[in-house]
Amino acid sequence: METCNAVCLATVSVGLICALASASGVKPTIDVQQITFGPKHHFFGYIGHVRTIPWNASGRYIVALQTDFQDHMPEPDEAADVILIDTQNDYAIKVVDQTRAWNFQQGTMLYWNPKAPETQFFFNDRDPATDKVFAVLFDISKGPQGERIREFRYDDTPFGNSGVAQNGGYFLGLSYGRLTRLRPVTGYPGAHDWTEGVKHPADDGIFKVHTATGEKQLIVSFAQLRDALQGTHPDVAEHALFINHTLWSRDDDRIYFYVRGAFGSRDERVNIPCTINPDGSGLTEQTQYVGGHPEWELGHRMIGADGDDLVVYDTDKQRIVETIGSPEIFPKPGGDTALSPDAKWIVSGYNQKSYNAYVLYRLSDGAWVCTPQFDQNGWTSGDLRNDPAPCWNRDGTQVLFPSIAEDAERTRQLFVIRLNKGGS
């Protein structure tokens, strides 16, 4: 593969790079375009698994964040702009709000509302007086700038959105104050933490919120998780636990998540995959671990990494049931993988040394194409790293991803891969 240079700042035809012909002889092609530019930094902030789509329903607007810096985690008073990027007006940027609850890996958990995907999206914010985190529902059709139509504030348990149901109606919530303490890359520095000093609180865990009524439910607590898991993992009783990656299945009937602890120690680290039903029943430890940022396939099957292979793991059977592609196609399958909304394509981002690249793979016949490599030198590790984070649009023809631009300041910017599917 060729390294990306200044030519990536314009549209680049890379259809012949790393492409393999399908069985029919018709192979996919791609081109890549940078759509935001410095001096400010721009990013969406989370990978496109569980159909986290940056585009609104019509495809006109991409929602994202804009910041003045990328060299430190944000302090409580360092807000990021919430922006709309107009794809029909030369990617012009409009600032519609600000958030004080964000980080460089997950952004502010932006999700277009599946119940009103043309005009409404969720993001997280915090109260500047109390540092309590809450979720916001914003409508771009209200007034000249749009407006917040609901804030989901819970003073006793101030959590933020951690994943919207794929078909809408609910979102899951986590304490980002607890995450700041136990997994800083996913937290909001300075956020209120009501469980500080408590290893396994009974009043914190995964929350579920009914978006129409605001009713909240704690579907599983850390105390419950300790009790359920310590028989097979005695060390969970010793460590303060946290949760990452609350992922709704495509039918919204199952949630996959990781119970974690002691992430500062490779030897003592707790990292247990679990599933649960949205009503809190059916808590199950998944005995087969699949790595990377797993993605729901159809039904109760997950896409993730097992060693050098990208695999499909069945959460009912608790075993790997399929291998996707090969290590030649997916050199580092433990990166960020997203399934297209129609479930026909996979995009997988991965890094090699200080470069990120993206493979787009057609499931029907194994045809694939990959991008040039994009230089991330200086931003490949730690809390400020630029994760590959690919996100599909709604018809599976474009992928949004962040990269470090080849400008003098090496700003963090957004790029789009356009896919010519070349057949099925």
- Per-residue pLDDT tens digits of the chain, which is 424 residues long: 333 333 333 333 333 344 443 444 578 999 999 999 999 999 999 888 999 999 999 999 999 999 999 999 999 999 999 999 999 999 999 999 999 999 999 999 999 999 999 999 999 999 999 999 999 999 999 989 999 999 999 999 999 999 999 999 999 999 999 999 999 999 999 999 999 999 999 999 999 999 999 999 999 999 999 999 999 999 999 999 999 999 999 999 999 999 999 988 888 899 999 999 999 999 999 999 998 889 999 999 999 999 999 999 999 999 999 999 999 999 999 989 999 999 999 999 999 899 999 999 999 999 999 999 999 999 999 999 999 999 999 999 999 999 999 999 999 999 999 999 876 5
Helix, strand, coil % over all residues of the chain, rounded to 5: 5, 40, 50
The tokens of 368 are what? 């694939």
Does residue 94 sit in helix, strand or coil? strand
Cis peptide upstream of residue 402 (ω within 30 degrees of 0): no
Q: Phi and psi for 345 in degrees, rounded to 5?
A: -135, 150
Asked whether the whole model's pTM tops 0.85, one would answer yes
Alpha-carbon dihedral angle through residues 217, 236, 270, 280, given to the nearest 10 degrees: -20
Q: Among positive and negative, which fits the CA dihedral 281, 282, 284, 286? A: negative
Q: State the DSSP code for 367.
A: -
CB atoms within 10 A of CB 164: 28
In the numeric block, which tokens belong to residue 74?
Answer: 């944000």
Helix (H, G, I), strand (E, B) or coil at 225: helix
Measure the CA–CA gap between 231 and 285, rounded to whole angstroms: 11
Q: Which amino acid is at 345?
A: W
Contact at 8 Å (CB) between 358 and 347? yes
Is residue 68 within 8 A of residue 412, CB to CB? The reply is: no
CATH class of 6-285+371-420: mainly beta
Residue 13 has a pLDDT of 38
Domain boundaries of the chain, sorted by first residue: 6-285+371-420
d(CA 383, CA 158): 23
